[in-house]
Structure 1
Amino acid sequence: MNYGIVNFFHPNHADSAMQKTCMRKKIHIITPIRPGGPQMWGRLLAKELNIRDEWSATHTRTLPRMIMTPFYEPADVVHTSVPITYRLWKKPLILTLRGNFMIEYYYWARMYPRSIRMADIVTVSSHFLKETLRLPNALVIPPSADLPQMPVRQRTDEHTIRILIVTKFCFPQKSRGVLTLLDALSKTKIKKHPISIAILGGGVYLNEIKRESRRCGLPVTFYGFTDPKPFFEQSDIFLYWSKHDNTPIAVLEAMSYGLPVVANNVGAMTELVTHKETGLIANTPDEFTAYVNELFDHPELQRTLGEGARHAILTTFSHARVVPQYESLYRGVIS
């Protein structure tokens, strides 16, 4: 008697599942070994592709596999954020640029021009980067972030205002930006509004910035390279300052948690943050201090900007909006 129960262990069902897996197109995503924005981008992209029936994605961030890639590649598409300047295979090659290699001094930066010429498609994460690198044929696909299932936080005026700073201490321009932030905070209304400052991130310049930060006399705690999610959940305001940047993923993460963002006008910041709608963008340290004071004095502005920030993630920077743009590229180069 048939009770309408499907036997998933029947050979026909097993064959069907195997066929479905074999039909998936293989995408090989390659990112730098060092933790940071590009590596996070590759990990999240692979994760999002693998929950779709059409793709089977692998994420490489180890040196041995990178060394082998030019000689052997089983994937249908290679999607890399590190330069590939030589290959024995003819699989489609997509190069994604997330920073300005012309001023970021690391050992493979000089390999990018040749890698750009070799790639079938070049994508960049902002219009700013496209113009800066003079790549008229590059496609702009913005970065993306998770949208946590949580409401925009509510806070009262009485408790200490919790400030969060997340950056990478691998580059001097970003590292020195933390000192600029602390100097700006030291000029705010901290006597009227008590604050605590959590700083996340690791790198070779961390200890130097720690030493210099003692001069500011502020309640600062450095947590090193750690999971930022609990800090995003517990903080009230997110601050960012760098002398050089493109599209810092930490800003998008803060926005996704409903944090009001105050940042300087650097790189493609205006492509991420809409001034007075999803955050505040300062052109000078004094202007930065004024914006922070405005948030201190007006909790309702914090809530309004936080709500706008989450809406921007949902409508523009969520994985649901961004990943399909990469899928279209894959289908195009495979066909």
Structure 2
Amino acid sequence: MNIAILADSLNTHSGSRAPIELAKALASTNRNNVTLYIRNNYSQKNRSLLPNRIKLKLIERKSFFKTFFSLLRDFNAENYDIMCSNATLSVFLPAALSNKPLITTYHGTQWNVWENKFFKNKNLRLLLHFMDFFTNIFIWIKTCPIFLFSKKVITISKYTTQEGKSYYLRPSQHVYWGAAPNGFKPSSKSTQNTKLTVISVSRITPYKGFHQLINIFRAIDPQINARLIIVGSQPQKNYLNYLKKISPKNVQIIIDPPDKTLASLYKKSHLYATCDQYLFFGMPILEAASFKLPAIALNYAAAKEVIKNKQTGFVANNLDEFKKYLELLLTDQKLRTSMGSRACLFAKKFTWEKTAQEYEKIFKNLLQKKTWTLPLLLNL
């Protein structure tokens, strides 16, 4: 198949790496020719992560309409069998209106942006609710085209499948992402520190709940000799400064480390923890699991899909429960080791090869249909 994958950037951090890993997995067989569309803000170092057999096309930064018509002409002119979008609306729309069948990956919808951004301002709560009401309507309108104009929507978890049906009234099919990219595998030799280390990895933004994690860490039994390492990307400056302000000496924040450094940090850690409010899949949880780290998460979104509660870690219903589980895993080495081993076995079920195979099946089923209509909106 001749496949075009649309992404916003050539980014290797957390969930942003997903379209890159998907492109690599689809291109790993002789059956597919893969072209990856990205915006022209990437480093040559990141380009080297892609094999030469993947063709890279840059989306030039122009006005919305210039970009729209430039991409529409390009999509119509190319001989793609199918297109797969992981991109924002400005790239998605010309693909949806082209003469090629389009499949879109839905990653979940993040609501209440103002309340999350100004979470410290309790006195503004009423105003923030009012602002979020209208912003949420805009977010819904902006997301609707994914479900209305795609031939098929693929979600990243069972939770996001249900969310798509509830919020946008359209069916979809979930396909899990892979756990860790190739070349990001743990060694058999353990390099864990003597000092107990908790690691948490994600973008530095309020809804990821790093402030809650730090506050929990400050409240644990002081006799537990432990430290917290936060590994973040794309930091919001004000939020990063706030995290630094409330962090005690045993909390370390590392920004944008390369994969080699991140793998080393996983190896030196004892467990993974997250207070992510929008855990639509949780790739870092499975990355950590591949290093035999059990995980603790709050019971949000797809947490129970990537953590088998009381087997590969704990899913806490509130912050007090989270603290209790954190102290338990920090003090019970036997439990931590057994859960970590089960987590590692569980993570092996999530591979990019399996993800690519599922996408290929969906592509083939779609192409085998005799006819296809352009936007699903016309069928409503």
Are residue 230 (structure 1) and residue 264 (structure 2) matched?
yes
Q: Which structure 1 residue ranges, 5 or more long, are not aligned?
A: 1-24
2:149 paired residue number: 118
Deviations 1:121-163 (A, max 9, x none): 101111211222325520111121237253484869xx20122
Quick one: which of 343, 347, 359 aligns to 1:309?
Answer: 343
Are residue 91 (structure 1) and residue 100 (structure 2) matched?
yes
1:19 paired residue number: none
- Look up the equivalent residue of 1:179 and give its one-letter code: H
Partners of 2:321 and 2:244 lie apart in 1 by 21
SS at the partner of 1:119? coil
Asked whether the 8 Å contact 1:123–1:139 carries over to 2, the reply is: yes
1:188 paired residue number: 220
| Structure-2-length-normalised TM-score | 0.73
Structure 1 stretch 40-49 or stretch 25-34: which is displaced more?
A: 25-34
Partners of 2:311 and 2:191 lie apart in 1 by 18
Partners of 1:190 and 1:129 lie apart in 2 by 39
1:245 paired residue number: 279
Partners of 1:183 and 1:196 lie apart in 2 by 13
How much has 1:94 moved relative to structure 2? 0.4
Asked whether the 8 Å contact 1:102–1:109 carries over to 2, the reply is: no
Coordinate RMSD, CA, aligned:
2.6
SS at the partner of 2:154? strand
SS at the partner of 1:71? helix
Aligned length: 304
Are residue 30 (structure 1) and residue 64 (structure 2) matched?
no
Asked whether the 8 Å contact 2:296–2:316 carries over to 1, the reply is: yes
Partners of 1:113 and 1:61 lie apart in 2 by 22
Quick one: which of 53, 59, 78 aligns to 1:65?
Answer: 59
Deviations 1:204-247 (A, max 9, x none): 42553343443342412211112222211221111111233311
Are residue 271 (structure 1) and residue 305 (structure 2) matched?
yes
Partners of 2:256 and 2:300 lie apart in 1 by 23
The 3 A distance-change label for structure 1 pair 263 and 206 is farther
Are residue 281 (structure 1) and residue 283 (structure 2) matched?
no
Asked whether the 8 Å contact 2:230–2:252 carries over to 1, the reply is: yes
How much has 1:326 moved relative to structure 2? 0.6
SS at the partner of 1:61? strand
Partners of 1:302 and 1:128 lie apart in 2 by 27
Partners of 2:200 and 2:306 lie apart in 1 by 17
Deviations 1:12-58 (A, max 9, x none): xxxxxxxxxxxxx2211112238454431100011111111111222
Partners of 1:266 and 1:258 lie apart in 2 by 23
Partners of 1:288 and 1:297 lie apart in 2 by 14
1:215 paired residue number: 246
The 3 A distance-change label for structure 1 pair 222 and 103 is same
- Look up the equivalent residue of 1:320 and give its one-letter code: E
- Look up the equivalent residue of 1:150 and give its one-letter code: S
Partners of 2:276 and 2:210 lie apart in 1 by 8
Partners of 2:189 and 2:159 lie apart in 1 by 30
How much has 1:179 moved relative to structure 2? 1.1
Partners of 2:32 and 2:239 lie apart in 1 by 44
Asked whether the 8 Å contact 1:154–1:303 carries over to 2, the reply is: no
- Look up the equivalent residue of 2:363 and give its one-letter code: Y
The 3 A distance-change label for structure 1 pair 269 and 33 is same
Q: Which structure 2 residue ranges, 5 or more long, are not aligned?
A: 41-57, 61-66, 114-134, 369-380
Partners of 2:81 and 2:164 lie apart in 1 by 28
The 3 A distance-change label for structure 1 pair 272 and 320 is same
